[in-house]
Amino acid sequence: MSSRETLGVAPASRLLRAPEPTGMSARRRVAGVLAAFVALHAPGGFAAESPVAALPLDLRDRPALGREDAPVVVLEISSFKCSHCRTFHAEVFPKLREQYIDAGKVRWVVLNASDENADQFAKIFALARCAGRQDRYWELLDELFRVAHRAPSFLEDLLAKNTVLDRPALDQCLRDRGLRNVLADDFARYAALKVRGTPTFLMWKTSRDGVRTETTVAGGQKLDYFQRVLDGLLNLP
């Protein structure tokens, strides 16, 4: 398994300090308040400050866009019930997708979970996983954000009527006993990463000699902020 497909297994890494964003709240975005790019070397493992040092995380069984061999990988950690996550996907993500993902520069992977452990039992997260099994996650993403706070029965009926989903396959997926374990694992991995709320974006680039440089963007930042951080990673050797 390549280092692009898992977190926490690079032979060496360095933590890239992201530029200081503007208009950040101290509570949820303090992780992103960093004045300059500073490399912290940690031979044999991740720097202590690294959120991805917490555990190996297989990226292959998750919603993803972009080339598998793209130079930069982004793990977006978001919740369908998070208003900042919804705003990011409505206002910022389309441009990032056009400029970086579709251009072959970034591989974008998603982990859906939240601070509320009880949310793992929320129907919206199960429906998202089932949509992913039909390769329809990205087509339904806007709808998932829009209806996330509706009653479970309403959600299931609404998405079942969506023509992009196969209803028998959806019903079978929702009845799958293994689905509950998958969702519990998503939330356990979210907790282990110790991120400070949603959305959070873990980004890294692995050099040819196996050194991974990573950084974290916390909160729903503006497009130009993401551009500066991604360009900073892309311009590294």
pLDDT digits (tens, 9 = 90+) for 212-221: 899 999 998 9
Look at the chain and count its residues: 237
- Domain holding 43: CATH number? 3.40.30.10
In a domain, 163, yes or no: no
**pTM over cut 0.85:** no
In a domain, 210, yes or no: yes
pLDDT digits (tens, 9 = 90+) for 31-53: 332 322 323 222 333 333 455 54
In a domain, 145, yes or no: no
The answer to whether the beta carbons of residues 32 and 215 sit under 8 Å apart is: no
**Number of domains into which the chain is organized:** 1
**Beta-carbon count within 10 A of 8 CB:** 18
Peptide bond preceding 168 in cis form (omega within 30 of 0): no
Determine which helix (DSSP H) or strand (DSSP E) holds 143, and give its type and residue range: helix 137-147
pLDDT digits (tens, 9 = 90+) for 130-144: 999 999 999 999 999
In a domain, 201, yes or no: yes
Give the domain extent around 95: 12-119+190-234
List, in sequence order, every beta strand (DSSP E) within 163-208: 200-206
Helix axes 137-147, 152-160, angle to 10 degrees: 150
β-pair type (72-78, 64-65): unpaired
**d(C-alpha 188, C-alpha 36), whole Å:** 32
Q: Give the full edge-to-edge strand order of the sheet including 211-218.
A: 12-15, 211-218, 200-206, 72-78, 106-112, 64-65
